[in-house]
Chain A
Amino acid sequence: MSDVMESEASNMHNVICDRDHMAQITSTQAVTLVDKQSTSMPMLQLLNPTGELLNEQYKNAWDKKIALKLFYAMHFTRILDERMVAAQRQGRISFYLACTGEEAAIVGATAGVEMRDMIMTQYREQGALVYRGFSATQFMNQMFSNALDPNKGRQMPIHYGDKELNFMTVSSPLGTQIPQAAGFAYGQKMAGQDAITLCFFGEGAASEGDFHAGLNMAAVLECPCIFLCRNNGYAISTPANEQFKGDGIASRGVGYGVHTIRVDGNDALAMYVATKEARRFSLKNNRPVLIEAMTYRLAAHSTSDDPSGYRSRDEEIVWREKDPIMRMHRYLQQVGWLDEKDLDGYISKTRSDLLAAVKYAENQSVAPLTEIVTDVYKDIEPHLQDQLNALRAHVENYPESYPNTAHPIASDNQTGGPK
């Protein structure tokens, strides 16, 4: 596959160079309005919904170790989602956003890049963190906004960020990470790093101006990055057919001169193979690649909405049958890599780890009051120091009204976590 893609790539590159000047365009004497069929793109699928391998050529595309790591990370993600949706219902956290149904797209893609690659996400990609080793306690410290969250409890739940894991801190505004990914990748190239940037977003965010700016700039400035669109069918309540009329998001990549592949987002193997190849191609040629992962948001948009207001149960059932975890499970059974007992043990251990982490994280203090003014600038500027001083005096004057900062919870272990 690599060779094929390569030769197409070099041809395509010539075409792009030629076609950026009018004189090189061939002429026609027939009036033809070109429609979207001209960019209609097939979807790479290597495992069908029953887990059957559809192309023997990919039998050794991954080994047992990677396949199982990826599969277990998908399970962790799903259990985390179930646990946290419940925690939100119980009023323990204010907000949550599940990635149920999209685990293969996210974890599969993450497995296809290297740890040294930067990942920039939208907000539904906790599976990427799971695969990279973010622990149950780290998740909970963020979601309970406590002092141990590296982002200091400043953002809503699910706005993770971890420099060590090369995972850029999440920002709620949609699509802002897309041009940033192009710039970050340009920086990686200029610094001579053997690394790329993997940038996730949804098909809704791809309507934002930042998507168009980002893809065009990445193409023109030859940035080694992968743009990964999770086309999950819905932007909150808005279905994809009210979002765009073209051939998905993939057709736009072609328009911007970005090498593009459409993948079955519920097929972990296809996602892994496509992303691995995209990374190799991107890094070698200093070119961006767009991957459109066709998937489905089985979850609500967030804990703030109820999908029964905008889609049918029947539609959800059709997609439940394409569940990416079930598909991977069947595949692993067929190739004889699955140890059911070990999986059951992993699932129950994950559940109890998460439960312990919740209990631990919700009993930690919030960050000390000073942190309200740090990081606005590198140093606390004089006007902010004045505001902090006034605030501190006020809190000391009314300690019962500001219990979180007036009386921090005493903790015997502020650096560790549950064992």
Chain B
Amino acid sequence: MAQLNLLQAVNHALHTAMEADDSVMVMGEDVGHFGGVFRATSNLQKTFGKARCFNTPLVEQGIIGFANGLAAQGAKPIAEIQFADYIYPAFDQIVNETAKFRYRSGGQFTVGGLTIRTPYGGGIAGGHYHSQSPEAFFAHVPGIKVVIPRNPYQAKGLLLSSIRASDPVLFMEPKRLYRASVGEVPEMDYELPLGKADLVQNGSDITLVAWGAQVEILQEAAQKALSHGVSCEIIDLQSILPWDRETICQSVIKTGRCLINHEAPLTGGFASEIAAVVQSECFLHLEAPIARVCGLDTPYPLAHEKEYMPDALKTFEAIMQTVHF
């Protein structure tokens, strides 16, 4: 097995998908000859030609609108939005079109073949407009799936599943880990199931839930908690929608405590949804209030990035407070 970083694993998945299916096409700003600003689409144009991997004009609403049309026709477009912070001009196309295509036509028409890839998240000194984590906006929209990998193995398997899924998928890539996360990735074509969480670490005192780059923050916090005698179970949600309620709730029933961590602002973040379901499903098993360690309810700052982030120290503090409630 090859050692790849997360970016290379994404690139691998794109090559694999395009190789296996002629109707897969990659489009977006700078994805052609240049291979994308992060190089996720390197060599795709060279290998599969300009007709199947192409630069688009600089217009996100156009990219997703075009991709919706292409998918409705039966192709499998993989549309890249260069940064998740720039997805908003395409919000109408995603929310009102992508997500409702099948429902509004009684199943006659669908854009199920569409995958939208976008790098998200902070920790890279990117300020307001290169750091956002907008997953909760899209999780609020029935009709589109939201998937986030945390390592190269997941990135390849989940991206291949997303491309081949019968539903449109927003595939959000934690750019902080693009080169930082390195791991073994099988050469072969493989898929990982959507809608399933990944149990990262077994534990008995508290269930920690996160996704993407924040999973390693949980691991760091759990390590610190362990030195204080607290055993943490860590779950990577992987699929934000639909999400794996069963795995999370079973874990909380076992541990009696739950902490959710995400980079996005606290209010209206996806942790709120998880907390609501957990309290409803696990009420009699909870020994402490569900904790949320999240970004502040502010735009993502630059000079105060470190202070803004829901880091391992804040997570550790919340673990200890929850355990000693």
Chain A residues with a Cβ under 8 A of chain B? 94-95, 145-146, 152-156, 159, 171-174, 204-205, 207-210, 235-238, 242-244, 304-305, 309-310, 366-367, 369, 371-373, 376, 383-384, 387, 391, 394-395, 397-398, 401-402, 404-405
CB pair A204–B58 under 8 Å, yes or no, is: yes
Binds A, one of B108-116, B163-171, B271-279, B291-299: B291-299
Contacts of B297 in A (CB 8 A): 376, 383-384, 387
CB pair B89–A208 under 8 Å, yes or no, is: yes
Alpha-carbon distance between A376 and B301 when the two chains are bound, in angstroms: 11
Contacts of A155 in B (CB 8 A): 127-129, 302
Contacts of B59 in A (CB 8 A): 207-209
CB pair A205–B58 under 8 Å, yes or no, is: yes
Q: List 14 A-B contacts (CB under 8 A).
A: A145-B303, A152-B303, A154-B127, A154-B299, A173-B85, A209-B62, A236-B30, A238-B55, A243-B57, A309-B35, A310-B33, A387-B266, A395-B307, A404-B304
Task: Name the distance in Å between B9's Cβ and chain A's nearest Cβ.
Answer: 21
Q: Which residue of B lies closest to A395 (CB)?
A: B307
Task: Name the distance in Å between A409's Cβ and chain B's nearest Cβ.
Answer: 13
Q: Which residue of B lies closest to A176 (CB)?
A: B89
Given A155-B302, A208-B60, A243-B57, 17 other A-B contacts at CB below 8 A? A153-B302, A155-B127, A155-B129, A173-B89, A173-B129, A205-B58, A208-B58, A209-B62, A210-B89, A236-B30, A237-B34, A237-B55, A242-B32, A304-B37, A384-B297, A401-B313, A404-B303
Task: Name the distance in Å between B313's Cβ and chain A's nearest Cβ.
Answer: 5
- The answer, among A153, A156, A207, A235, for a CB contact under 8 Å with B62, is A207
- The answer, among B34, B60, B127, B267, for a CB contact under 8 Å with A309, is B34
Number of B interface residues at 8 Å Cβ cutoff, please give it. 40
* Chain B positions 67 through 89: 1 when the CB is less than 8 Å from some CB of chain A, otherwise 0: 00000000000000000011011
B219 interface residue, CB < 8 Å from A?
Answer: no
* Chain B positions 18 through 32: 1 when the CB is less than 8 Å from some CB of chain A, otherwise 0: 000000000001101
Alpha-carbon distance between A242 and B314 when the two chains are bound, in angstroms: 47
Ordered nearest first, which 5 A-B pairs have the shortest CB separation? A153-B303, A237-B34, A172-B129, A207-B57, A156-B127
Contacts of B128 in A (CB 8 A): 154-155, 172
CB pair B317–A394 under 8 Å, yes or no, is: yes
Alpha-carbon distance between A204 and B29 when the two chains are bound, in angstroms: 10
Contacts of B314 in A (CB 8 A): 394
Task: Name the distance in Å between A29's Cβ and chain B's nearest Cβ.
Answer: 35
Instruction: Decide yes or no: A95 and B57 within 8 Å by CB, A152-B303, A373-B298 being known contacts.
Output: no
* Chain B positions 26 through 54: 1 when the CB is less than 8 Å from some CB of chain A, otherwise 0: 00011011110100000000000000000
Alpha-carbon distance between A383 and B306 when the two chains are bound, in angstroms: 20
B226 interface residue, CB < 8 Å from A?
Answer: no
B193 interface residue, CB < 8 Å from A?
Answer: no
Contacts of A243 in B (CB 8 A): 57-58
Instruction: Decide yes or no: A236 and B86 within 8 Å by CB, A154-B299, A207-B58, A384-B297 being known contacts.
Output: no
CB pair B299–A376 under 8 Å, yes or no, is: yes
B288 interface residue, CB < 8 Å from A?
Answer: no
Contacts of A205 in B (CB 8 A): 58
Q: Which residue of A lies closest to B314 (CB)?
A: A394
- The answer, among A207, A372, A384, for a CB contact under 8 Å with B307, is A372
